[in-house]
Structure 1
């Protein structure tokens, strides 16, 4: 049995189908999704439908992303959010325009069940964005940072590589967990398109919302599989570009 972690999907159902097939996923595998299932490409509702069905046959852990929370707020309150609209929400609003109330209520139910994080028996943390408290997730004062924070990844990215974990200057947050798997900040920002490890942190967001592929990775072996770049799969769409 494998533990497989999946990066930010952003409405790219075709890419999700590809990585499930390319990784030869079976019901024996545990699938950990890092969030941001929606906003970007045109199939956000279909992604959620697929995940709801997938959970019936596979062991799935669904982490909450910031875009998933923004969608939930919109579905429940129907309040305009111009910032969300500009950052991927427009495609999602259009995709939900003709869906039945029954489907929308089912999706609201799914979005409400998302987890802020998952900590496994090997002290590996799976989280969408990060956390800010130096004592870890159990002490976080602001839970929304679990799916909004960027400072954890930035800390790992900017770390002086000559520092040892026992050094007084070594960031405590990076020593609390054996490994941390996150998404949220695309690795394309550092001109990469594959999963990147910095210190104890693995970033699995390979920019599927923009010009990159979607990624699934075996957390034990670090073998990974990727879809085609999303613009190839949705040639007549702009995604979040």
Structure 2
């Protein structure tokens, strides 16, 4: 049995297909998707449709990202959040032009079913962004923190890596889990093109929405699998505003 965490896709279906082909998924494998399936490249609706179909064949865990929240709100109400529209929403709306109302209802159900976080049998936590509660993710007061927070990753990056987990100096919120896997903050921000690790936190967002690649990591072996640079898969779309 293998478990893979897969980073933020942002409408890059071509990149997702490349990664899955490299993984050569088997029936007993588990795929944990870290959120932000939409908003970016031109195939957001197609990504969602593919993931729905994929979940019927393989064991998939889908985490909810902040872009997914925006798209879910639009599918439910038809109202366009201006911030969302400027940060990939326009491309997502356009990707739905050939989808029927029934298709959109099915996609809304998909977004509504997304998990805020997932904890596996080995006490490994998976969530889109972060959390601030020193008592753990279950005690987080504001749900939006789970898909917007960047302080967890910033804290992990600035920690003295030699501090033992049993030390009183070790941040309490990190002690609750064996490992923590996140997306949301592109590793490109730190001039890194592969998943990054700081203490027990792993960041899997390698900037597929921008000029990075889509990444998957085997959470047991830490082997990394990557697509081509996603902008090279959509050359006619380079230069459009994305986030």
Q: Give the TM-score of the pair, scaled to structure 1.
A: 0.97
1:84 aligns with 2:84: yes
- Residues 45-99 of structure 1 show CA distances to partners (whole Å, capped at 9, x for unaligned) of 1101110111111000011111001100011112221111111111101112342
Unmatched segments (≥5 aa) in structure 2: none
CA RMSD of aligned residues (A): 1.2
User: Which segment drifts farther, 167-176 or 49-58?
Assistant: 167-176
Could you say which residue in structure 2 is the equivalent of 1:118?
118
1:217-232 matches, cutoff 5 A:
217-232=217-232
Could you say which residue in structure 1 is the equivalent of 2:21?
21
User: Which segment drifts farther, 128-137 or 72-81?
Assistant: 72-81
CA contact 1:175–1:200 (8 Å) conserved in 2: no
Could you say which residue in structure 1 is the equivalent of 2:207?
207
Aligned residues, how many?
241
- Residues 184-220 of structure 1 show CA distances to partners (whole Å, capped at 9, x for unaligned) of 0000000001011001100000000100000111100
CA contact 1:4–1:219 (8 Å) conserved in 2: yes
Find the aligned partners of 1:82 and 1:140 in 2 and give their Cα distance. 27
Unmatched segments (≥5 aa) in structure 1: none
Find the aligned partners of 1:11 and 1:27 in 2 and give their Cα distance. 25
SS at match of 2:163: coil
Q: Give the TM-score of the pair, scaled to structure 2.
A: 0.96
Which consecutive aligned stretches of 4+ in structure 1 deviate over 4 angstroms post-superposition?
none
